[in-house]
Structure formats: C-alpha cells, structure tokens
C-alpha cells in the first residue's frame, strides 16, 4: 500500500487577477524587474484560480508498495511540456524551496526556486498574500520546526521562459548569482514571453540545507519523509483537479546545488518516495551528462534494494550503511 495520507493543514484558493492586483510582487533587482515587465506588460490579464495547500509530514509505510512508478530520465532542464501518458494526467514540477516560501523571488539571485518564481510571476504575489494574511495554518514556510510541511500550488500561469544556457553573449550563463551581474540586453534576449500563458502545478519542498561527512539514518529518513509527503499530497490534489488522473511529477537534482546534497542519494530517495506515495510517473531532468550518470547510479541502487527488501525501515538502514557523504555548496 502507498503511504498513508498526509494531513491537510490549510487550503486557500485565490482568483489570480485579484491576487496580483491586491498583492503585486515586490521586486528589488533591476534584471528581475525587466523579466517581470516582459512577462506582465501593461494591460496583461491574469486568469484562473491559484490553489495553495500546506501539508503535515506523513509517516512512512512499514512495507514497500508492490506498485512501482514509471521512471523517465530527461537530460535537460524543465521545459513544462506535457509528458506522454496512457490516460489523462495531472503534472507537477518540484520547486527546490527554501524554508521561507519564495523568499528570494525579488532579489538578484536566480537559482531554481527564483527562476520558477520569475517565470511564474504570481508566485511572488502568493508569498505577499500569505505574509499579509498571517494565517498560522498557512504561513509561507515549508517546515514547522523539524517537521516538513510542503506547500503545493495548482493553476499558476507560466508567463515567460528565461534561457540560462551559455552562448556568446553569456559565456557563463545566467544561473544563480550571475543573473544579477548580466547586462539588461542579455537578460532581455534570454527572456521570451509566453502568450497565452501555460499552467503549472508546483510542489514546494525544502531539502536539508547542508551537512558534513556521512549522512545519518535520521537525515535519510527526513529526506524520504519530506518527498513522500509532498508526492502524496500531489496525488490527493490531482484527484481534486481531474477524475482518476495519472499523476506525473517532474523533478531533478533537488537539494544538491546550494545545499550541497549528494546527487546519487537525493535522486534515489526521490525515486523511493515516488513509489511510497503512489506516483504514476517520475520524470527526472538531469541537466547534463554528469547529472544523467548520477541518476543512472541512483536507479541501479534503488532497483537492487527494492529487489532485496520488503521493509521500508530495513531499506533505509541499508542505504545508511552504504556511507553516502555530503558534497559542497555550488555557491548559488
């Protein structure tokens, strides 16, 4: 059986137009303001509803479910293009969140979290609205002390795409701290308005923010619990959006950039969480050949462990015994 259902802490629906009008994004960085002006030019109409929900951590099931998700690897970044599916699907993209939801959306930083917020400008308004509401059940935080509380967002418009890849004008790309140092011409060239906007569903979950030496058993269980809770919530929210949908989750090397997580371990635990949560398809965007190599190693590990373990706890014990070590932050 998949994991037990996570406990819903709060759910709130916003009319997108009213949300953005009442809580406009607060953007301090000039290049972010330029991206926003392309995504939301004067007269731009925001449409639809944005549904925000926050979830309490779910206990991991004692036994490993028999059903396995389909695992797909893409050597690219998020494109937000629909995945082929055998039946109607609800798709989700993982946001590599901070403890404080979208906390740096208006700054010059342009890591994965901030890039998603720039391309989906209503996310800044969601943060401002949650701050203004001061609802203790729905603060803009993805943890409550030591307890993971992932936040899911349905129905967010993606209004632009920012190409951070290298070219002659951007020899080191636009990712991370480089974005704020780029010229306006480079940023303008890299940004394409999406009209009409597409719609994205997001899973905001925070990875452990850095460690040293070997991963502990408690850290491994915390990571698995965070991802399983978030993915289980996506299954529940998908059922509200469509009748008996396939649930597709897009992710990548979550927690392995600025947080310095181990790429093989973090990929393996997300694969395990997808199984525990009952996800139908997990699409892993590896970015480059090194990322694909780590994904392949993670899949080999998970396949071997699933074949030899029936207990979730014993599987996590075996992973801990493998002696995975923390990496170092990439500075972004």
Residues 6+ apart with CB under 8 A from 39: 118, 119, 121, 159, 160, 191, 193, 194
Q: What is the DSSP letter of 90?
A: E
Give the other-Cβ count within 10 Å of 328's Cβ.
8
User: Is 325 in a helix, a strand, or coil?
Assistant: strand
| pLDDT for the residue 244 | 74
Q: In degrees to the nearest 10, what's the CA dihedral of 206, 209, 210, 214?
A: -50
Question: Block means of pLDDT (10 residues each) for the chain, length 332 residues?
Answer: 82 98 97 98 96 96 94 96 87 97 97 97 98 98 96 98 83 88 94 97 94 94 98 94 85 93 97 97 96 97 96 97 91 73
| pLDDT for the residue 61 | 95
| pLDDT for the residue 331 | 72
Q: Are strands 89-96 and 191-205 parallel, antiparallel or unpaired?
A: parallel
Q: Name the average pLDDT for the chain.
A: 94
- The backbone region for 148, taken as left when phi is positive above 0, alpha when psi lies in -120 to 50, beta otherwise, is beta
Check if the beta carbon of residue 96 is closer than 8 Å to that of residue 112. Answer: yes
Check if the beta carbon of residue 224 is closer than 8 Å to that of residue 60. Answer: yes
Q: Helices 263-277 and 217-241 sit at what angle, rounded to 10 degrees?
A: 50
Check if the beta carbon of residue 247 is closer than 8 Å to that of residue 320. Answer: no
Provide the residue ranges of all domains of the chain, joining segments of one domain with +: 7-321
Spatial distance between the Cα atoms of 59 and 90, rounded to a whole number of angstroms: 24
Spatial distance between the Cα atoms of 204 and 198, rounded to a whole number of angstroms: 19
pTM of the predicted structure, to 2 decimals: 0.96
Q: Rounded to 5 degrees, what angle do the CA atoms 267, 210, 126 make?
A: 80
Q: Helices 217-241 and 312-321 sit at what angle, rounded to 10 degrees?
A: 130
Q: What is the DSSP letter of 311?
A: B
Query: φ, ψ for residue 180 (rounded to 5)?
Result: -65, -25
Spatial distance between the Cα atoms of 261 and 227, rounded to a whole number of angstroms: 14
Select the CATH number that applies to the domain covering 7-321 from these four: 3.40.220.10, 3.40.1190.20, 3.30.70.920, 3.40.30.10: 3.40.220.10
User: Is 149 in a helix, a strand, or coil?
Assistant: coil
User: Is 268 in a helix, a strand, or coil?
Assistant: helix
| pLDDT for the residue 3 | 66
- Terminal CA-to-CA distance of the chain, rounded, Å? 39
Q: How far is CA 332 from CA 17, 86, 205, 304, in A?
A: 32, 38, 18, 34
């Amino acid at each position: 059986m998949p994991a037990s259902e996570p406990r819903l802490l709060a759910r709130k629906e916003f009319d997108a137009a009213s949300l953005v009008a009442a809580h406009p994004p607060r953007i301090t960085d000039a290049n972010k303001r330029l991206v926003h002006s392309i995504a939301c030019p004067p007269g731009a109409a925001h449409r639809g509803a944005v549904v925000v929900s926050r979830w309490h951590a779910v206990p991991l099931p004692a036994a490993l479910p028999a059903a396995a998700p389909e695992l797909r690897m893409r050597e690219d970044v998020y494109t937000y293009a629909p995945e082929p599916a055998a039946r109607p699907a609800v798709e989700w993209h993982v946001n590599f969140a901070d403890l404080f939801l979208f906390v740096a959306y208006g700054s010059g930083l342009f890591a994965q979290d901030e890039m998603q917020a720039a391309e989906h400008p209503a996310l800044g308004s969601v943060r401002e609205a949650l701050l203004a509401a001061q609802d203790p059940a729905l603060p803009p935080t993805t943890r409550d002390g030591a307890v993971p509380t992932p936040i899911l967002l349905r129905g967010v418009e993606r209004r632009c795409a920012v190409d951070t890849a290298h070219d002659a004008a951007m020899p080191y790309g636009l990712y991370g701290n480089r974005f704020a140092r780029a010229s306006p011409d480079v940023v303008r060239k890299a940004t394409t308005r999406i009209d009409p906007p597409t719609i994205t569903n997001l899973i905001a979950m925070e990875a452990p923010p850095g460690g040293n030496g070997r991963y502990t058993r408690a850290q491994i269980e915390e990571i698995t619990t965070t991802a399983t809770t978030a993915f289980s919530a996506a299954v529940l929210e998908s059922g509200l959006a469509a009748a008996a949908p396939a649930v597709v989750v897009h992710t990548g090397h979550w927690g392995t950039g600025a947080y310095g997580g181990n790429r093989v371990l973090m990929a393996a635990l997300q694969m395990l969480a997808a199984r525990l949560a009952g996800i139908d398809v997990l699409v892993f965007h590896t970015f480059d050949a090194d990322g694909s190599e780590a994904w392949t190693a993670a899949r080999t590990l998970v396949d071997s462990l699933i074949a030899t373990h029936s207990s979730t706890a014993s599987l996590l014990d075996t992973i801990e015994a493998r002696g995975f070590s923390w990496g170092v932050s990439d500075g972004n």
